[in-house]
Amino acid sequence: MKTGAESEWGRLNHVMVHEPGIEVFFALLYPSAHLYERFFNLDAARSEHRALCSMLHDDFGVKVTYLEEIVKEKAGENEDIFRRLFRLAEQRSRQVVEGDAYLSYCQGDYPVSQVPYNERDPGHLLDIVKLNPEITLSQDGVRTELIHPLYNLYFMRDQQAATDLGMVQSWMAKRERADEVDLSGLALQSAGADIVHRVDGGRFEGGDFMPAGDFALLGCGLRTDMNGINSFLSNGTAFDEVAVVHEPIHPLITGRDPMVCMHLDTYFNIAADGVAVGNPLLLNEAKVEVYHRFSGGYEASGDKQPLDSYISEKGFFIVEITTLEQLCYATNFLCVRDGECIAPDTSAIAPLVLERLFAMAKRAPEKYGRLLEQAKYDYGKLTKTGCFFPENRELQKSGVEMQALTLTSATGGYGGAHCMTCVINRN
């Protein structure tokens, strides 16, 4: 199957997704500890995710492949896929015996690693991979613990990137997400998508990569570092020019917040050939270092300039959004065709974000106080004008059409439509 993408605005033909599942329930018991922004209604998040997939398929004709469905289907047909799934389940399950407790239990009970692989159905194995259970046998009974379930799996952008050469697998920055890559790789194989490279050092996540026709942008910061970028550039892309965008420190936050600008697509995105969207404060703070390809690899130009000036020099008009809209995932829209996108309805998300900012500023006023004041100002202005993104007048002038979609609950895990979709193919 032809895979990859040469631009963010190329016609979207095929995506892979994962509907929020039982693993999300466990994350919601303590959202912030599992990289979530806030608690949210899981049933509502599932409904919103289904609406996103329906819009992609029904309104735009995009092929939507569900990770669980494709893995279970192909594992039932293909012995190699089944064996790979079984090995993943074997790696992500463990049985611990305390003392001679095992003697108290039926001798027929043993770990999945000792059960013949053909006695396990694909759905059962897939649940093991998602939840990573550890079974402890003791004299007091049987105890089941979940060790690093794949809480963030529904953010399918990050485990890989669709480049001009094909699919490149990531090396995730956070332990909570590290094991997602093997499962998403199995799903890609099940879907017939070729993988051209796997980043093998440092950190690299797909939310930091954006192809842009004649060049590409690549975020560098807490989730993607230069070691990961060097591995990616070695075999993952052939763009003649790659702009490495260094993650900005938010000028309204004292110190650093690891989530506010964690990926490039959290503060910048491309809506059409020649139209970008971003928050001017962050676009000016983010510095670009250009790498050019030559016969032996890539070489840095040595000069740095703000992202806004770089993208303007490339002929892009920048649709500016407010600080509050950026916090409400305005840039995390998904371009489906040149100038046609699906965007989160920021007006519905804004009250929840403000509520969280009030709590953060109360705990740490010196750190988040200025951010809260700016967000309150933005909310008042946007409420008065009724121009919450994507009902943005500058956006309308640009000719870009944005379909607003309610993602109020689903964004609680820290991402929007862009983060929730793994692009497999764009024309």
pLDDT band at 2 (very low <50, low <70, confident <90, very high): confident
Among 59, 331, 85, 94, CA closest to 210: 331
Predicted confidence at residue 112, as pLDDT, reads 47
% residues pLDDT > 90 (the chain): 87
pLDDT band at 93 (very low <50, low <70, confident <90, very high): confident
What is the average pLDDT across 416-422?
98
Q: Collect all residues with Cβ–Cβ distance below 8 Å to 147 and sequence separation of at least 6.
A: 94, 132, 133, 134
Q: Residues 237-253: pLDDT tens digits? A: 999 999 999 999 999 99
Q: Collect all residues with Cβ–Cβ distance below 8 Å to 267 and sequence separation of at least 6.
A: 248, 261, 278, 279, 282, 283, 286, 326, 331
Residue 108 has pLDDT above 80, yes or no: no
Q: 122 with 82: CB under 8 angstroms?
A: yes
Q: Residues 283-300: pLDDT tens digits? A: 999 999 999 999 889 999
What is the average pLDDT across 100-121?
59
Residue 305 has pLDDT above 90, yes or no: yes
What is the average pLDDT across 203-229?
98
Among 146, 171, 175, 139, CA closest to 25: 146
Q: Across the chain, what does the average pLDDT equal? A: 94
Residue 101 has pLDDT above 60, yes or no: no
Residue 143 has pLDDT above 90, yes or no: no
The mean-pLDDT minimum among 114-118, 231-235, 290-294, 411-415 falls in 114-118
Which ranges of 101-179 would DSSP assign to H, the alpha helix? 122-131
Residue 140 has pLDDT above 90, yes or no: no
Predicted confidence at residue 98, as pLDDT, reads 76
Predicted confidence at residue 118, as pLDDT, reads 66
Predicted confidence at residue 302, as pLDDT, reads 86
> What's the pTM value of the predicted model, to 2 decimals?
0.94
Q: Residues 22-67: pLDDT tens digits? A: 999 999 999 999 999 999 999 999 999 999 999 999 999 999 999 9
**Across the strands, what pairs with 197?**
168
CA distance 65 to 108: 38
% residues pLDDT > 70 (the chain): 95
What is the average pLDDT across 327-342?
98
Domains and CATH numbers, the chain: 12-70+150-426 (3.75.10.10)
SS3 195: strand
CA distance 196 to 243: 21
Q: Residues 151-200: pLDDT tens digits? A: 999 999 999 999 999 999 999 999 999 999 999 999 999 999 989 999 99
Looking at residue 274, its amino acid is G
The CB-side HSE value for 338 (13 A sphere, CA atoms) comes to 8
Predicted confidence at residue 138, as pLDDT, reads 78
